[in-house]
Amino acid sequence: MSAETTRHGEREVRALVITGFGLNCERETARAFELAGARAEQVHLNDILAGLRRLDEFHILALIGGFSFGDHLGAGAVFANRLRARLRSQLEEFIGSGRLIIGICNGFQTLARLGLVPALDGRLFEPQVALALNERGVFRDAWVTVRAEKNCPCVFTRGVDVLSLPIRHGEGRFVARDRRTLERVEEEGLAALRYVDPQTGEPAQEFPHNPNGSWNAIAGVCDPTGRVFGMMPHPEAYLAPWNHPLWTRQRAEGALPAEGGGLAIFRNAVAFAREHLL
């Protein structure tokens, strides 16, 4: 039986959720892909490094939230170094074959340190942006409002407008290595998500709507193909309507959604993979 087929002979989208070493959002992330129609597997990093599993068995790779390797040397630093040293060629092949990668929170920090986003001029493994310490110097656990930018090629945010999502991080302030890099991210439409004022819908630079002081209120970026995407908020933490802290009010007002807003991110990925990668 093909690795891409079910017992009924139907081809299926396969998503890899890497686990281990302080990562802690594997179940929610796997469930998100399953709800979106994919087959999700949680695989320990050591099994991949040992060659027991390969990235090319999958269509979508998820680098999840948590505190990989205790965030020693900086959030995502050790994890990124492991991937660069041991899986560089597999990552290059994975991206080159048109497959999808999403990095959420710690995963975004890892993607940035690897240089897989924004990858201007196609320069992989050359870090161009970073997620620095929150401007206020404290860990922030709250819900924020983000807006998906319409001029962005990001596969994961297609058709998405405004989302309410939780954040929980101490190093989430999006910065670029210089102002010209930031300008190019904007010029090339790679800023996929921005923190916005929930009342006006406009980008927010002030706390608490911008929870970490990110430049240009950027909450997520993609590479020029739109297939590699990193975001600080946690879409996997808002899969059901009652995940939202105001769900009882929404129900009373007749505004309770059928599903959590974060699920749209995963539905987009699975739909793209089903159309283009099967």
Catalytically annotated residues: 105, 234, 236
In 3D space, the residue among 271, 261, 210 whose CA is nearest the CA of residue 236 turns out to be: 261
Distances in whole angstroms, Cα of residue 105 to Cα of each of 70, 121, 168, 230: 14, 24, 8, 8
Residue 273: Cβ within 10 Å count: 26
Query: Residue 40: helix, strand or coil by DSSP?
Result: strand
Which DSSP category does 17 fall into? E
For residue 66, the 8-state DSSP code is B
- What's the Rg (C-alpha) of the chain? 18
Is residue 273 within 8 A of residue 62, CB to CB? The reply is no
> Whole-angstrom Cα distance, residue 60 to residue 226?
13
Distances (CA, A) of 50 to 41, 59, 164, 221: 17, 20, 39, 31
The closest of 26, 171, 45, 32 to 112, measured between CA atoms, is 171
Helix or strand holding residue 172 (H, E): none
